[in-house]
């Protein structure tokens, strides 16, 4: 496939579905060529083909498990070998599960820690160094509103997303004087396959405004990134209720945990 020289390149992890796919489409509308990285083989191929045919940009599907320690280096070396210069790096790949940490399989524990912390840090380091040298580029890290909610059942998800949010803020300060922008996004619940919700609960969450469609979220995320903003908190309700949630004493959280059916205590 012939590459259009005037088009810059964006790399999106987790780009075959959900928020990543919609961000990729939004970048394609702006005539960015795209590297989409995912472990979803068929979906990745189909997503790339659809974006290419719709927006007439070049896409590269890269099938890769980003929970593996060697994956960031392999991905960077692939770009080097292909002589591809990445102007926009989107660290979007993520995973979610609900349950007690001590009852979680250790392999799954290590996978979420790697995917939300080690992998984006490595990619920011590798591609960020090239951006610093060029004095141009954008890094977009997708954290979560859960980063500020250390609640039972989402301990690993919230704490790793908290790390990514903090890392993004500090990296932004380091990169500002090199004309490299770092933006962090902390969305609430998004209607994707990340959450194991049945259709009726999904529809109710969307109706109540608790959840948002990714295709509505992506344009704002990309626009804010190109405006070089530091943090995006999508959703009117999120911006209103987050300060209130932070005021809830942890004793009340513990009480809800003991008496709700969301995460029932195991009997001895």
pLDDT of res. 5 = 44
pLDDT of res. 57 = 97
Q: pLDDT tens digits, residue range 192-203? A: 555 555 555 445
Q: pLDDT tens digits, residue range 143-186? A: 998 898 888 888 999 999 999 999 999 999 999 999 999 999 99
Instruction: Look at residue 253 and tell me if it is in a domain.
Output: no
- The pLDDT-based confidence of 2 (bands split at 50, 70, 90) is very low
Q: pLDDT tens digits, residue range 57-91? A: 999 999 999 999 999 999 999 999 999 999 999 99
Instruction: Look at residue 55 and tell me if it is in a domain.
Output: yes
Instruction: Look at residue 257 and tell me if it is in a domain.
Output: no
In terms of pTM, does the model score above 0.75? yes
Report the number of distinct structural domains present in the chain: 1
Query: What are the CB-based long-range contacts (under 8 Å, 24+) for 154-158?
Result: 154/96, 154/98, 155/101, 156/97, 156/101, 156/104, 156/109, 156/112, 156/113, 157/96, 157/97, 157/112, 157/116
CATH label of the domain that carries residue 203: 3.40.50.720
Instruction: Look at residue 158 and tell me if it is in a domain.
Output: yes
Instruction: Look at residue 206 and tell me if it is in a domain.
Output: yes
Instruction: Look at residue 170 and tell me if it is in a domain.
Output: yes
Distance CA 104, CA 117 (A): 18
pLDDT of res. 241 = 58
Q: Judge contact between 160 and 94, C-beta under 8 A.
A: no
Instruction: Look at residue 251 and tell me if it is in a domain.
Output: no
Q: 9 or 201: which carries more pLDDT confidence?
A: 9
Distance CA 130, CA 135 (A): 8
What is the distance of C-alpha 165 from the center of its chain? Answer: 11
Residue range 238-252: mean pLDDT, rounded: 60
Q: pLDDT tens digits, residue range 26-63? A: 999 999 999 999 999 999 999 999 999 999 999 999 99
Those residues whose C-beta lies under 8 Å from the C-beta of residue 141, and which sit 6 or more positions away, are 91, 120, 124, 164, 165, 167, 168, 182, 183, 184, 185
Range of the domain at 177: 9-241
Q: pLDDT tens digits, residue range 120-141? A: 999 999 999 999 999 999 999 9
């Amino acid at each position: 496939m012939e590459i259009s020289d005037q088009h810059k390149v964006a790399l999106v992890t987790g780009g075959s579905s959900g928020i990543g796919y919609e961000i990729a489409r939004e970048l394609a509308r702006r005539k960015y060529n795209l590297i989409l990285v995912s472990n979803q083989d068929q979906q990745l191929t189909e997503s790339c083909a659809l974006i290419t045919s719709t927006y007439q940009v070049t896409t590269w599907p890269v099938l890769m498990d980003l929970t593996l320690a060697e994956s960031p280096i392999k991905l960077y070396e692939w770009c080097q070998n292909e002589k591809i210069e990445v102007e926009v790096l989107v660290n979007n790949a993520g995973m979610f599960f609900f349950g007690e940490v001590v009852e979680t399989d250790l392999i799954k524990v290590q996978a979420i820690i790697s995917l939300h912390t080690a992998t984006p840090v490595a990619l920011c380091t590798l591609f960020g160094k090239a951006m610093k040298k060029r004095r141009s580029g954008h890094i977009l890290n997708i954290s979560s509103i859960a980063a500020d909610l250390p609640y039972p059942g989402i301990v690993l998800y919230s704490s790793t997303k908290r790390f990514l949010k903090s890392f993004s803020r500090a990296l932004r300060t380091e990169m500002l004087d090199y004309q490299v922008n770092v933006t962090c996004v902390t969305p609430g619940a998004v209607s994707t396959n990340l959450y194991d919700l049945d259709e009726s609960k999904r529809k109710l969450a969307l109706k109540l405004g608790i959840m948002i469609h990714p295709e509505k979220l992506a344009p704002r995320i990309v626009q804010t990134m190109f405006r070089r903003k530091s943090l995006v908190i999508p959703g009117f309700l999120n911006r209103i209720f987050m300060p209130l949630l932070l005021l809830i004493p942890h004793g009340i959280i513990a009480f809800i945990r003991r008496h709700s059916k969301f995460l029932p205590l195991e009997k001895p």
